[in-house]
Amino acid sequence: MQKILDLISDEMKKAFGQAGYDEELGKVTLSNRPDLCEFQCNGAMAGAKLYKKAPIMIAQDVAEKLTDSSIFSEVTAVAPGFLNCKLSGSFLTSYLDGMKCNRKFGLEESDHKKKIVIDYGGPNVAKPLHVGHLRSAVIGESVKRIAKYMGHEVIGDIHMGDWGLQMGLIITELKERQPDLVYFDERYKGEYPKEPPFTISELEEIYPTASGKSKVDEEYKKRAMEATHMLQEGVRGYRALWDHIIAVSVADLKRNYENLNVDFDLWNGESSVQDIIPDMVNYMKSEGYAHESEGALVVDVKEETDTKEIPPCMILKSDGASLYNTTDLATIMERKDKIDPDHIIYVVDKRQELYFEQVFRCARKTKIVHPGTELTFLGFGTVNGKDGKPFKTRDGGVMRLENLISDINDKMYEKIMENKEKNGDTAVSEEEAKKTAKTVALAAIKYGDLSNQASKDYIFDVDRFTSFEGDTGPYILYTIVRIKSILNKYKEAGGNVLTAAIGGVCNDSEKALMLEITKFNAMMEAAYAELAPHKVCAYIYDLSNAFNRFYHETKILKEEDEQKKSGYIALLVLTKEILEACIDVLGFYAPERM
Ligand code: ARG
């Protein structure tokens, strides 16, 4: 379906033409004085110079052509030359009717279906997820869903940090503790045990211990580097241990991401591309892209137009080891070969912006990516505590994501039990309350994050995020649950929700709700084009407010005119379905009641 602003603008443009003015002046926008009108056109003001005429006269000429318009119920020329417009009820309801019959509420999928890779999550194995990992997962998941909703083919890749010194450190520490493990016996030729020699909690303790030791003990660090090297050379026992580390970590990561309703199509990591690095390096050397600099191998990526210093992209360190850059470049190459994407989007901490600038430039310069492939860095800001400093636990430690989630689950559970008591509600079992608490907590966390523009830092304010009022996830869910409950009552009284048809406009708050609904397709297109889930949040907040105002000002179920009532019900169904589609692209969902 055409977007409503385009339809209205077309009508306005026609009128400008008929009145003898340039049609291009007829662009209509949302009103910035909603108390006076719904839409406005400022074209007459712009036309004044062109036609050497008072703007009000132009506006009057145009308004006159619109007196019989089927789209506008009212167009008034007001001083000094604005055109204030109100939509006709029948045009509005037929537009909503179209939305209701349309699979995606009038959203047109992109003509050009793209293949998009989203690189998000980016956890490091053997380290617990902390609050810093929240944003990549939550934003990446939403961007993925928005792009899918627009009809694109989207592949989410977790790109784990699963290679390099951190692995050598773990292996070294294990060897210290259990030197007799068969993995360290060079003469051993048999199969290695299927059971890992550690649990996830042990692993999570081993890594920081090893990392701490390596910082104060040079010898230890040397051994860890040696172990890393042996792993990379493919020493059997080390590979087998590494397989265990990955398996144990991935199982834990899967559980954690599942709790966040986040899932990946590809569980690749830095290790996945190690085999192709030598060929890539040779190619960059033989084509003359890479050169030696102080023993290291680098590709220059600075450009004449740079206003800030962009250092060269380092491909190999002076000891021949590969780096973070090397893996990201090799991953770009591998994606080209295996997936051939039109677009790769990286959802990573914005502090890595310069790094990605180097990587993208290097990929383009060395032609390891098609010139037409778009590379986008979607950098996000820091999650801060109420003190404005990076979010910490009460004693100043790093907050584990798992603990943060369970704190919010508990808080939500308390609130739901309080409500239950207040309402004297006995129908809700404890089990259901627990499940609902989790659902609402997820919305609180995700909405709290996504409603901020990704690039901005934000304050993780547990009290605000979990509130049922205001611009929060629980408020949106509460609105959906309220609609569900009205629809259920309507059904229980014998009403048919499916046959309810959008009726006429009965009151102001109903019209305001209808107008809000019509913005859906334009909003979703913009959210995709700008990779901006916060636009979806802003929209559903406005839509929920419009609905709740309508709800408070209208007798819905008590309405005696059955046709009117059925029109209200149809509007409720549409509102609910749109809210649900929106929270689905945000990556959460609503309970039956709360
Ligand atoms: N593991 C990385 C980190 O902790 C994030 C990975 C981001 N993705 C990427 N393709 N480099 O910083």
Largest CA-CA distance found in the chain, in angstroms, rounded: 97
* d(CA 123, ligand 1 centre) in Å: 7
What pLDDT is stored for residue 523 in this prediction? 98
> Which of 326, 335, 346, 360 most suits a substitution to test ligand 1, by most atoms within 8 Å of the C-beta?
346
Q: What is the DSSP letter of 371?
A: T
Nearest-CA residue for atom 8 of ligand 1: 122
What pLDDT is stored for residue 420 in this prediction? 81
Q: Write phi, then psi, for 346 (nearest 5 degrees).
A: -105, 120
User: Residue 347: CB within 6 Å of ligand 1?
Assistant: no
d(CA 130, CA 398): 7
Atom of ligand 1 nearest to the CA of 161: 1
Nearest-CA residue for atom 3 of ligand 1: 122
Q: Hey, which residues does 398 pair with through a beta bridge?
A: 392
Nearest-CA residue for atom 6 of ligand 1: 122
User: Residue 130: CB within 6 Å of ligand 1?
Assistant: no
User: Residue 348: CB within 6 Å of ligand 1?
Assistant: yes
d(CA 391, CA 133): 12
Spell out the long-range contacts of 368-371 with Cβ–Cβ below 8 A and sequence spacing 24 or more: 368/280, 368/283, 368/329, 368/332, 368/333, 368/336, 369/332, 369/333, 369/336, 370/336, 370/340
Atom of ligand 1 nearest to the CA of 352: 12
User: Residue 363: CB within 6 Å of ligand 1?
Assistant: no
* d(CA 260, ligand 1 centre) in Å: 19
User: Residue 119: CB within 6 Å of ligand 1?
Assistant: yes
User: Residue 159: CB within 6 Å of ligand 1?
Assistant: yes
Nearest-CA residue for atom 5 of ligand 1: 122
* d(CA 178, ligand 1 centre) in Å: 31
User: Residue 270: CB within 6 Å of ligand 1?
Assistant: no
Q: Hey, which residues does 184 pair with through a beta bridge?
A: none
**Nearest CA-CA partner of 486 in 495, 473, 477:** 495
* d(CA 119, ligand 1 centre) in Å: 9
What pLDDT is stored for residue 80 in this prediction? 95
- Identify the residue whose tokens are 């492939």: 373
d(CA 575, CA 150): 20
Task: Judge contact between 111 and 151, C-beta under 8 A.
Answer: no
Task: Judge contact between 75 and 26, C-beta under 8 A.
Answer: no
Question: What are the distances in angstroms from CA 159 to CA 121, 318, 351?
Answer: 7, 26, 18
d(CA 436, CA 237): 46
Atom of ligand 1 nearest to the CA of 355: 11
- Please name the residues in contact with 394: beta carbons below 8 A apart, sequence gap of 6 or more: none
Q: Write phi, then psi, for 339 (nearest 5 degrees).
A: -120, -35
* d(CA 165, ligand 1 centre) in Å: 15
The model's pLDDT over 253-286, given as tens digits with 9 standing for 90+, comes to: 999 999 999 999 999 999 999 999 999 999 999 9
pLDDT in tens, the chain (594 residues): 999 999 999 999 999 999 999 999 999 999 989 889 999 999 999 999 999 999 999 999 999 999 999 999 999 999 999 999 999 999 999 999 999 999 999 999 988 999 999 999 999 998 889 888 999 999 999 999 999 999 999 999 999 999 989 999 999 999 999 999 999 999 999 999 999 999 999 999 999 999 999 999 999 999 999 999 899 889 999 999 999 999 999 999 999 999 999 999 999 999 999 999 999 999 999 999 999 999 999 999 999 999 999 999 999 999 888 899 999 999 999 999 999 999 999 999 999 999 999 999 999 999 999 999 999 999 999 999 988 888 887 787 888 899 999 999 999 999 999 888 887 777 778 899 999 999 999 999 999 999 999 999 999 999 999 999 999 999 999 999 999 999 999 999 999 999 999 999 989 999 999 999 999 999 999 999 999 999 999 999 999 999 999 999 999 999 999 999 999 999 999 999 999 999 999 999 999 988
* d(CA 381, ligand 1 centre) in Å: 15
* d(CA 584, ligand 1 centre) in Å: 26
d(CA 322, CA 320): 7
User: Residue 328: CB within 6 Å of ligand 1?
Assistant: yes
Atom of ligand 1 nearest to the CA of 348: 7
* d(CA 269, ligand 1 centre) in Å: 9
What pLDDT is stored for residue 357 in this prediction? 97
User: Residue 346: CB within 6 Å of ligand 1?
Assistant: yes
> In the β-sheet with 290-293, what is the strand arrangement from edge to edge?
290-293, 296-299, 313-316
What pLDDT is stored for residue 46 in this prediction? 94
| The pair of three-digit structure tokens given for residue 296, joined into one six-digit string | 């290291």
* d(CA 204, ligand 1 centre) in Å: 19
User: Residue 329: CB within 6 Å of ligand 1?
Assistant: no
* d(CA 324, ligand 1 centre) in Å: 8
Nearest-CA residue for atom 7 of ligand 1: 122
What pLDDT is stored for residue 390 in this prediction? 87
> Which of 348, 359, 376, 398 most suits a substitution to test ligand 1, by most atoms within 8 Å of the C-beta?
348
The model's pLDDT over 488-500, given as tens digits with 9 standing for 90+, comes to: 999 999 999 999 9
Nearest-CA residue for atom 12 of ligand 1: 122
